[in-house]
């Protein structure tokens, strides 16, 4: 996707602070952190949002879950953390490339919505 910000980050056309990378997943620090640890975990394949997950592409979600667990351990988030993926207009998704926010490093608010 030529006009996708996160595809440009994957391609190295826009710099990012990478914390993890493999063949199918990239994780990098959010530019506007909302917690001491705020990392975005994304598939390298362009998928617009979790609403576009199908039986054909859902394998990457299982892998992202493993990656998130790995990063959380590496970042020392032993007291817990939050993972969320904003979806569509009501979900306030601003970048239309599937991404999971990994937030932690402090007591997070109980409020989700």
Catalytic residue ranges? 99
Structure tokens at 11: 């391609």
Q: What gap in Å lies between CA 19 and CA 83, rounded to an integer?
A: 16
Which stretch in 51-59, 63-71, 89-97, 104-112 sits in contact with ligand DGP by CB under 6 A? 89-97
Which stretch in 52-60, 63-71, 74-82, 87-95 sits in contact with ligand DGP by CB under 6 A? 87-95
H or E segment to which residue 20 belongs: strand 18-21
Instruction: Give the x/- contact pattern for ligand DGP in 12-51, rule: CB under 6 A.
Output: --x-x-----------xxxxx-------x-----------
Handedness of CA 77, 92, 48, 15 (dihedral sign): negative
Taking the complex as a whole, the smallest distance from the CB of residue 34 to ligand DGP amounts, in Å, to 7
* 40 strand-pairing partners: 28, 101
By CB under 6 A, is residue 94 in contact with ligand DGP?
Answer: yes
Structure tokens at 24: 């199918």
Provide the binding-site residues for ligand DGP, judged by CB under 6 A.
5, 14, 16, 28-32, 40, 86, 92-95
């Amino acid at each position: 996707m030529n006009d996708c910000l996160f595809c440009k980050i994957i391609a190295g056309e826009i710099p990012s602070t990478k914390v993890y990378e493999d063949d199918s997943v990239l994780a990098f620090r959010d530019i506007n952190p909302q917690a001491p640890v705020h990392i975005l975990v994304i598939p390298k394949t362009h998928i617009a949002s979790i609403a576009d997950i199908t039986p054909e592409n859902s394998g990457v979600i299982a892998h992202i879950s493993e990656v998130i667990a790995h990063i959380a351990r590496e970042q020392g988030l032993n007291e817990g953390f939050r993972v969320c993926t904003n979806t569509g207009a009501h979900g306030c998704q601003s970048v239309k490339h599937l991404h999971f926010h990994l937030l932690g490093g402090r007591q997070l608010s109980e409020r989700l919505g």
